[in-house]
Amino acid sequence: MLPFGASDGPGRLPTWPEMHAFATHAEGDGLDSAWVCDHFLSGPEGSPAEGIHEAWTIVAALAASTSRIELGQLVMCVSFRSPSLLAKMAVTADGVSGGRLVLGLGAGWYDPEYLAFGYATDHRVARLDEALQIIGPLLRGERLTFDGRFHQVQDAVLLPAPDRHIPILLAGNRPRMLRLTARYADAWNTAWFGLPDERLGQRLADMHAALEAENRDPGTLRRTVGMEVCDPDLAEQIEAESFAGSVDDLARAIDAYERLGIDDLIVRLEPSTHASLDRLARAIEVRSR
């Protein structure tokens, strides 16, 4: 996860040069992907809002300034941009990156930013359902007319057409979100965890059941897990659910996720520093010995 908001930076909102340096350092360390979140305001409800960058702008900048690393969103809120616009932006950013985009999508949840910026807070999952019925066909290069309760398009098509299949990732754990994932998505994310636990086991079982209900081969879904990793020597605060072991312990934790069939760990580092990236890279190196 890229440092993105005021709480992720060195006591302040990280600047674009700092975020770019973080992403290129991760790329240089051999890590596989860099992820952004999508909010207009940041911070817990009831507290003063914190600053945060706009996600698509940063993704576009990273697409042009990195060369190998996969770029994803955890996740883009479909309430903030029309579905057809999201599809158009995804194709353009994917082209700029040379085919390295994962389009992460979600229903959204943080009411203060909805209210502040004038977005409706009702029927969020239903709005996402309709959005997926528009985004998916457009990304497949289809021409589409759709007349839904929340979204309408008429004879819409993406020109230029997508150069490749852009994977869609959904994040969520409740039954409706799992059904939408099984029906429409290429990848799924569940978060946040330290070590694998019973909660993760139940979520994996629920996702498997949703895939079976949609008559979908479970092997066709890419499973990603958000993992919180703290450096116990440098983190200002260690949350109860975070992982805070040694480099060798971290290597064993990654092994444990792999044994569960997890395809990707999307790691939120505390602190979000180059040293933390290097520490993660050392754990990966330990695994390869």
pTM above 0.75?
yes
Would residue 75 count as lying in a domain? Answer: yes
pLDDT 10s digits, 235-246? 666 777 899 999
Would residue 118 count as lying in a domain? Answer: yes
Q: What domain count does the chain have?
A: 1
Q: How far apart are CA 59 and CA 23, in angstroms?
A: 11
Give me the pLDDT at residue 7, please. Answer: 86
Confidence grade of residue 147 (pLDDT, cut at 50, 70, 90) = very high
Contacts of 215 (CB under 8 A, 6+ apart): none
pLDDT 10s digits, 113-128? 999 999 999 999 999 9
Would residue 214 count as lying in a domain? Answer: no
* Domain around 51: 6-171
Would residue 196 count as lying in a domain? Answer: no
Would residue 68 count as lying in a domain? Answer: yes
Would residue 197 count as lying in a domain? Answer: no
Would residue 125 count as lying in a domain? Answer: yes
Mean pLDDT of 31-54: 90
pLDDT 10s digits, 177-212? 999 999 999 999 999 999 999 999 999 999 999 999
For position 138, which CATH number holds? 3.20.20.30
Give me the pLDDT at residue 60, please. Answer: 97
Would residue 127 count as lying in a domain? Answer: yes
